[in-house]
Chains A and B, each alone.
Chain A
Amino acid sequence: MKLQQATRYAIWAVIELASRPTDQVRAQELAQIYRISQNHLVRVLQTLTRANIVSSVRGPGGGFTFCGNAKRLTLFDIISLFETGWPGEVSNGRPPGSALGAELSRVLNEVDRITSATLRSVTVQTIINNAERASRMRDLTERLPKAS
Chain B
Amino acid sequence: MTSQRIKSPEAERPSDDEIVIREGSRNDFPDIIALDAGIAGISRPEFWHEFQEHRAATNTLIILVARRSGKIVGYAMGEVRAWPVRGPACGWIYAIGVEKENRQRRAASALMTELIERFRAQGVGTIRTMIDVDDHLLMSFLRSLGMTAGPFVELEMSIAQ
A contact set with B: CB distance below 8 Å: 71, 74, 113-114, 117-118, 120-123, 125-126, 129-130, 133
Complexed CA–CA distance, A10 and B136 (Å): 22
Give the chain B neighbours of A125 by CB distance below 8 A. 144
Complexed CA–CA distance, A101 and B139 (Å): 31
Known: A114-B133, A120-B136, A130-B146. 19 other contacts (CB 8 A): A71-B144, A74-B140, A113-B133, A113-B134, A117-B134, A117-B136, A117-B139, A118-B149, A120-B140, A121-B136, A121-B140, A122-B143, A123-B140, A123-B143, A126-B143, A126-B144, A129-B146, A130-B148, A133-B146
Mark interface residues in B118-158 (1 if CB within 8 Å of A CB, else 0).
Answer: 00000000000000011010011001101011000000000
B contact set with A: CB distance below 8 Å: 133-134, 136, 139-140, 143-144, 146, 148-149
Check B146 against A121 for contact (C-beta < 8 Å): no
Complexed CA–CA distance, A114 and B132 (Å): 11
Known: A118-B149, A133-B146. A126 touches B140 (CB 8 A): yes
